[in-house]
Chain A
Amino acid sequence: NAGVTQTPKFQVLKTGQSMTLQCAQDMNHNSMYWYRQDPGMGLRLIYYSASEGTTDKGEVPNGYNVSRLNKREFSLRLESAAPSQTSVYFCASGKEGYNEQFFGPGTRLTVL
């Protein structure tokens, strides 16, 4: 099992460019999550998907969109990147309920 995979690992964008971060899991989990990690801020939830076909906003959704393509895949899109979106992005998945999450290796994004 690969667990949770994310692509790309690194990306540099210019202000105003768009891109999509990809995430896939092979553990048959219903729930998937996107977080951003900034120094001293912990992980903040951007969007989550409790099941295939549903998505909901988290703590910091502005400037992002998501798509739950199928049960395995959950993508995060930046339509017009801003320097404030420079961060490390983590995707996670988990079973429904009070269960732990499994994290991908992260994508380090820099917006110039």
Chain B
Amino acid sequence: AQSVTQLDSHVSVSEGTPVLLRCNYSSSYSPSLFWYVQHPNKGLQLLLKYTSAATLVKGINGFEAEFKKSETSFHLTKPSAHMSDAAEYFCVVTLSSGGSYIPTFGRGTSLIVHP
């Protein structure tokens, strides 16, 4: 079985300060991991993905995430927050099951950016 835990339901930062959104996963096998962003009243957009290549993954809009197998973590970071980063962020793990690839979503972290 696989599961994803996003450790914070809300994260509040000031514009220009670093962002850290935490994600831990549980998986019996080597997973593929994703971060998606959802702006208010919009669909989801891929930020970045890890699929067993480099452990440090760079995504769009200055975000990056590091896969740490020993810690079963895939935390999302950005050096300097922008007001436009305010959104809901989802960590996703995908595992193969009987030839199908089933994504499991975390419950989401709401990023609040103060001016």
A residues lining the B interface (CB < 8 Å): 4, 31, 33, 35, 40-45, 48, 50, 56, 58, 90, 92, 94, 96-106
Contact = CB atoms under 8 A, between A and B. Distances in A.
A100 B46 CA distance: 7
| Chain B interface size range | 20 to 34
A90 B44 contact: yes
13 contacts: A35-B105, A40-B9, A43-B44, A48-B100, A50-B101, A96-B101, A97-B101, A98-B51, A98-B94, A99-B101, A100-B46, A104-B43, A106-B42
Contacts of B43: 4, 90, 103-106
Contacts of A97: 101
Contacts of A56: 100
B90 interface: yes
